[in-house]
Amino acid sequence: MRSPVHREGWPAIGIFVGLNALLFLFAGPFGWIGVPLTAWCIWFFRDPERVTPAGGWRVVSPADGRVLPFAVTPPPAELGMGDTPLTRISIFMNVFNVHVNRVPCEGTVIALAYRPGKFFNASFDKASEHNERMAAHIRSTGPDGREIDLAVVQIAGLVARRIKSDLTEGQQVTRGDRYGIIRFGSRLDVYLPQGIAPLVAEGQHVKAGETLLADLAAADLAAADLATNGTTAEDPTT
């Protein structure tokens, strides 16, 4: 049976429990002051089960949290995915959200790239560009054999000092699988392929492995419309 606490949390929990025990030992009843902090630390590293939507060629949220304003910007340069601007969905995780990250779609890990950086508040837009991050390039293959690339980026926040990713290059991944964790407070960015529109709204609260972010099959509809009418479904002139 899987532990309800992520394995990365046990060292931190041990420190909190030990300090709380010392507080009881040397300060008597004042030790109760540390109990809420210890309880919070255990709660922070919780790792609940999730029911990932089955079937389809879809992208699920890699993190729990709040959807920040969308941006259209190139993916991280270190992934080598080019400089074409893509729709970026950013999810901000506060210190009360589940911080276990999940794979957004089925596919193959093409590249991984770690980049050190600063520690701005993860809710700031500049965090995507300047903060420490771990980026992954995933190539997903649809039922028709067509391949689509997307990027998912773990980004450290104001108090986050550890990004953990279990992915390896060449690894086959399944939508909704656990793949890492960030502590404490952070964000994840998902760069959607061209022609794919988000299925979530800015300000919406999402759940890792459960909330649908996008439908990759929608690219088929856009391509078909372009071939038939010379326009896309999102073309404002149609």
Q: 10-27 and 35-44 helices cross at what angle (nearest 10)?
A: 170
Give the other-Cβ count within 10 Å of 234's Cβ: 11
Dihedral of alpha carbons 64, 66, 72, 74, sign: negative
Strands 205-206 and 65-67 turn out to be antiparallel
61 is catalytic: no
Assigned token pair, 140: 């997903």
Collapsed DSSP state (helix, strand, coil) of residue 93: strand
Phi/psi of residue 50, nearest 5 degrees: -130, 150
Phi/psi of residue 174, nearest 5 degrees: -120, 140
DSSP 74-88: PPPGGGT--S--EEE
- Contacts for 143 with CB less than 8 Å, ≥ 6 apart: 57
Beta bridge partners of 231: none
Distance CA 213, CA 222 (A): 17
Helices (H) and strands (E) in the chain, counts: 4, 14
Collapsed DSSP state (helix, strand, coil) of residue 122: coil
Q: Catalytic site residues?
A: 186
